[in-house]
A = this chain, B = another copy of it.
Amino acid sequence: MTGTLYGLGVGPGDPELLTLKALRVLQACPVVAYPAPDHGQSFARGICAEHLTGEQTEVPIVVPMRVARFPAQEVYDEAAQTLRGHLDAGRDVAVLCEGDPFFYGSFMYLFQRLAADYRWEVVPGVSSLMTSAAVLGQPLAARNDLLTVVPGPSSDSVIRDALTRSDALAFIKVGRHFARLKALIKQAGMLDRAVYLERVSLEEQRILPLSEAGNDAPYFSMILIYAGGEEWVSNLPGPAELNS
């Protein structure tokens, strides 16, 4: 009998935001795979490190950050082959996914290659989207708000359009698009209700009114705009020690 493929959402960074289910599945799987940078530690593995049994086979999936063509399909081809070897041998495989596996995650590339041939289960995780609202102390969206999630690389016209017709917005994958996004938000007259958040749920998290944020942003950053946002933004900062 072949093994089962698990996609495990491990949450936004705080190890305590792992679910009971992800923890149980993680500890029951003899094989644990996770995305890893070409240099440095895997963020997803770090979130779960304390729960690894020490007897698991680890499969880092090294995705170069600077490849010309994204996503690096060859990397997923190769990783899928490695995981097939384990699954065919009857070993369950847990793939650790930052945040949630299917919210703009790379897990889909492995899932596409493997789901037709093996039993699978996806365990949803706490997303940085909801975590940003939580640490900010402001609804992500409420009542009958239209909420739009806008990836930073979207075109100017898509962004302008989204700003016009949404009650609440979340800009993700901000990174190198930060200055452009900020300018477009300012043009739309919504700077006073926009908040910048970085590395939410981690000790080094930063929360600032967008108007006071600098011009650089890491990949793990987000901008939130909420229709009722002026009053909430004026109450920043929220609790001082969220991870204490």
Quick check: is A53 within 8 A (CB to CB) of the other chain? no
Beta-carbon contact of A139 and B102 below 8 Å: yes
Beta-carbon contact of A124 and B17 below 8 Å: yes
Beta-carbon contact of B102 and A122 below 8 Å: no
Chain A, range 117-173, C-beta contacts under 8 Å to B: 119-127, 130-131, 133-135, 137-151, 153-154, 158, 161-162, 165-166, 173
Beta-carbon contact of B115 and A123 below 8 Å: no
Quick check: is A1 within 8 A (CB to CB) of the other chain? no
Cβ–Cβ < 8 Å partners of A103 in chain B: 130, 133, 139-141
**Which of A8-16, A28-36, A55-63, A83-91 faces chain B?**
A8-16
Beta-carbon contact of B165 and A161 below 8 Å: yes
Q: What CA separation (Å) do A88 and B17 show in the bound complex?
A: 29
Q: Which residue of B lies closest to A125 (CB)?
A: B126
Interface, chain A (partner B; CB < 8 A): 7, 9, 11-12, 14-21, 23-24, 100-105, 108, 111, 115-116, 119-127, 130-131, 133-135, 137-151, 153-154, 158, 161-162, 165-166, 173, 201, 235, 238-239, 242
Question: How many identical subunits does the complex contain?
Answer: 2
Q: Which residue of B lies closest to A159 (CB)?
A: B146
Subset of 17 A-B contacts with CB under 8 Å: A9-B126, A16-B20, A17-B124, A100-B126, A101-B134, A102-B134, A103-B130, A105-B139, A120-B137, A122-B137, A123-B134, A124-B127, A124-B134, A144-B153, A145-B151, A146-B149, A147-B148
Q: What CA separation (Å) do A105 and B146 show in the bound complex?
A: 14
Which listed residue, B12, B19, B105, B154, touches A16 by the CB 8 Å rule?
B19
Which listed residue, B142, B151, B154, touches A108 by the CB 8 Å rule?
B142
Q: Which residue of B lies closest to A162 (CB)?
A: B146
Beta-carbon contact of A9 and B143 below 8 Å: no
Beta-carbon contact of A140 and B102 below 8 Å: yes
Which listed residue, B17, B124, B141, B165, touches A133 by the CB 8 Å rule?
B124
Cβ–Cβ < 8 Å partners of A124 in chain B: 12, 17, 126-127, 130-131, 133-134, 201
Q: What CA separation (Å) do A93 and B19 show in the bound complex?
A: 22
Beta-carbon contact of A130 and B133 below 8 Å: no
Other CB < 8 Å A-B pairs besides A120-B238, A123-B134, 4 of them?
A: A100-B134, A124-B130, A125-B126, A125-B130
Beta-carbon contact of B18 and A20 below 8 Å: yes
Closest Cβ–Cβ distance, residue A229 to chain B (whole Å): 13
